[in-house]
Amino acid sequence: MQYAIHQIFNGYFNIMFKSVRPMENIPCFVFLLVGEDGELILIDTGFSPEYIPGLITSSQQEAEHKLPQAIRNLGYDPAEVKTVIMTHLHWDHTAGMQDFAAARFYVQADEFRGLFQLNPNEETYFCPAHWLKLLPQIEVVEGDVELRPGLQLIRTGGHTKGHQIVEAATASGPVLLAGDAPFNYDLLWKMISPEGWQLFREGPGARFYWDQSIQPRLAAWMDERKISGPIEGEAIPWEHFKQNGRLAYTLHDPRLLKAKIS
């Protein structure tokens, strides 16, 4: 099975903290895969201007950049998207999940286990409101799997505990859709002082911290799905994947602003 890959531009966002280099004009993309059999498979669901965790934030996102309309503009019906692969659950990848309420969402089990092993303040980079109601539709993945012929899910860890990338067969060869695999935010949580984080939590960042009911609800669901426990896999360095010569694109890849994948 081969796939055509459509990149969907979801907009730009900007994030500023006083003691951290600003993240400016970060492009955000989503990938729509179309199989030879016509199946539509979405990889991640983008961001919302309503949830950008930072001291000073802004974004540019027009109506045509929102996923349902963007998929229609490509000539496809968003209601036909029944499979969504989540590279991970950071806020800038999960905002559109509820637009595909009839879909099944493929997430690594370690991504949920990792939510109980976060750095202090790291919870602000996850927005459970985007996906808590969808827990019954989550398909839990353990490690590397062939989801469809020509479509591999590869657990990488690193960026998050359960980060995964996608290898898709195309007419021009295999392509890696790499999520945020090259990026590591571990230092972010240390570059801002505990006092700075406390001010953020008590001030403009209060809404990004989790309600106390969320972890017990998650834990109960994980127990029911029998996925509770320690992280199962080690992080695989991004360099391991770069060495094999396959084309690779991240979800924030500026090259995608100028060129199409297929």
For the chain, what's the residue count?
262
Q: What pLDDT is recorded for position 18?
A: 77
Count of H helices and E strands in the chain?
Answer: 7, 12
Q: How much is the pLDDT for 37?
A: 96
pLDDT in tens, 111-132: 999 999 999 999 999 999 999 9
Q: How high is the pLDDT of residue 238? A: 87
d(Cα 115, Cα 29) in Å, to the nearest integer?
24
For residue 251, CA distances in Å to 59, 78, 216, 230 come to 16, 20, 31, 28
Give the pLDDT score at 226. 97
* Per-residue pLDDT at 184: 85
CA distances from 230 to 36, 75, 212, 227 (A): 39, 43, 22, 9
Q: What is the pLDDT of residue 240?
A: 85
Domains (range + CATH), the chain: 3-257 (3.60.15.10)
In this prediction the pTM is: 0.96
- Nearest Cα to Cα of residue 253 among 179, 163, 151, 189: 179
pLDDT of residue 245: 65
Torsion of CA 214, 217, 219, 223, to 10 degrees: -160
Q: Give the mean pLDDT per block of 10 residues along the chain (262 residues).
A: 97 88 93 97 98 94 96 97 98 98 96 96 97 98 97 97 97 95 84 91 96 96 96 88 82 93 79
CB atoms within 10 A of CB 226: 9
What pLDDT is attached to residue 100?
Answer: 97
Could you report the per-residue pLDDT of 78-106, keeping only the tens digit for each?
999 999 999 999 999 999 999 998 999 99
For position 19, what pLDDT does the model report?
75
